[in-house]
């Protein structure tokens, strides 16, 4: 079990990105959260099997036809044991 924090840069707010991230994480059975940050980026923490997290990242990078990812920061963080994936609105 692994957990990673991702910070996505580019056109990632106002384009359905949080819901897109949620659907990919949910489909893969991953846990964690996604939220907009005040600086225009989006942060996600994703927890689960490493191979599923890598697949999640591949799907996110393919995009939804509207969003644009210019850069990603990735950091391994402590596993929290979340039971589902959530969109945070604060």
pLDDT tens per residue across span 9-61:
999 999 999 999 999 999 999 999 999 999 999 999 999 999 999 999 999 99
At a CB cut-off of 8 Å and minimum separation 6, what does 56 contact?
24, 25, 28, 30, 46
Q: Under DSSP, is residue 62 helix (H, G, I), strand (E, B) or coil?
A: helix
Quick check: is 18 catalytic? Answer: yes
Q: Which fold has domain 2-88?
A: Alpha-Beta Plaits (3.30.70)
At a CB cut-off of 8 Å and minimum separation 6, what does 54 contact?
none
Quick check: is 36 catalytic? Answer: yes
Enumerate the H helices of 1-90 as residue ranges.
17-28, 50-62
Q: In the chain, where are the structural domains located?
A: 2-88
**Catalytic-labelled residue, pool 5, 31, 36, 55:** 36
pTM of the model: 0.94
Q: What is the mean pLDDT of residues 86-90?
A: 91
Q: What is the mean pLDDT of residues 62-74?
A: 95
């Amino acid at each position: 079990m692994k957990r990673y924090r991702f910070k996505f840069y580019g056109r990632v707010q106002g384009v359905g990105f949080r819901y897109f991230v949620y659907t990919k994480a949910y489909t893969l059975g991953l846990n964690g959260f996604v939220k907009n940050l005040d600086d225009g980026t989006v942060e996600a923490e994703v927890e689960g099997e490493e191979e599923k997290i890598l697949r999640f990242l591949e799907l996110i990078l393919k995009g939804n036809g509207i969003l644009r990812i210019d850069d990603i920061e990735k950091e391994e963080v402590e596993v929290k044991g979340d039971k589902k994936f959530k969109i945070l609105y604060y």
